[in-house]
Amino acid sequence: MDSQLKKGLLDVCVLSVLRRGESYGYKILSDIAPCIEMAESTLYPILKRLDAAGYVQSRSEEHNGRLRKYFRITVQGEEKIREFLHDAEMLKKIYTFIANGGMV
């Protein structure tokens, strides 16, 4: 899969998990696992990028003597998911066109 396409898909997968409610890294990974495999080394840069873009907000809280960073989706993150779903509809049409040999 094209790396830029995959990057966008991973972003939206993370945002989708956060639609369920606030979460933290390990839990996000386990929630995404049934859909797509992702390493911690991939997730944390995504979370940092989503935070910087305003799609998520983060806060830290002590848990078992260590700081744990929690993330939640923002209104901008919800909009990002809506844009993705709109784009996905367009991609479905293009896929069907290609699969049908250039015929509608």
Assign residue 27 the CATH number of its domain.
1.10.10.10
- Cβ-Cβ contacts under 8 Å for 8 (sequence gap 6 or more): 84
Q: Specify if 47 maps to a domain.
A: yes
Those residues of the chain that have pLDDT short of 50 are none
Q: Specify if 56 maps to a domain.
A: yes
pLDDT at 74: 98
pLDDT at 4: 67
pLDDT at 37: 86
**DSSP code of residue 76:** H
pLDDT at 6: 72
Domain residue limits at 73:
3-99
Question: Residue 11 CB: number of other CB atoms within 10 A?
Answer: 21
Q: Specify if 54 maps to a domain.
A: yes
pLDDT at 33: 94
Number of domains into which the chain is organized: 1
Q: Which amino acid is at 68?
A: R
